[in-house]
Amino acid sequence: MQKVSNRPRRVAELIRRELAMLIPRELDDPKAHQITLTGVEMSRDMSSARIYFSLLSGAVEAKKLTKSLNRAAGFLRHVLMGRVSLRSVPVLRFYFDESVERGARIDSLIEQAITEDQQTKNK
């Protein structure tokens, strides 16, 4: 039976923590100050990392910011090499996390349904 390793999860958390500090400091894009890193997924061989982020302004600016972050990924990887003690720092790919926005939309629909239900009961 093969033992399941904790290492990918620990490395993912380390990368998320470091990038959360690096992105606002190192990137000139003002929108970079408005992102929240929501998660990091490592590949099995730990050669690449998928970094998920949400944006305060929503999905409107997400496409441009995703391109900007992916253009800066090589630079961020280089800076990470000096900050973390890993044999090799994975290739970074950034993706907009739509789950936060989708959750807020579902929340508002539930609230709307509850309000409508209460209004029909009161009539």
Its pTM stands at: 0.78
pLDDT at 12 > cutoff 60: yes
Residue type, 123: K
CATH of 7-98, one of 3.30.300.20, 3.90.1010.10, 3.40.462.10, 3.30.43.10: 3.30.300.20
CA–CA distance, 5 with 29 (Å, rounded to integer): 37
Per-residue model confidence as pLDDT tens digits over 77-87 = 999 999 888 88
CA distances from 62 to 34, 50, 84 (A): 11, 16, 28
Between 18-22, 102-106, 113-117, the lowest mean confidence (pLDDT) is in 102-106
Tokens for 61, please give them: 């600016």
| Residue 2, pLDDT score | 62
- Better pLDDT: 4 or 16: 16
Identify the burial level of 82 via C-beta atoms within 10 angstroms of its C-beta, where 0-12 means exposed, 13-18 middle and 19 or more buried.
Answer: exposed
| Residue 30, pLDDT score | 84
pLDDT at 58 > cutoff 90: no
> Domain spans of the chain?
7-98
Q: In this structure, are residues 76 and 26 in contact, taking their beta carbons and an 8 Å threshold?
A: yes
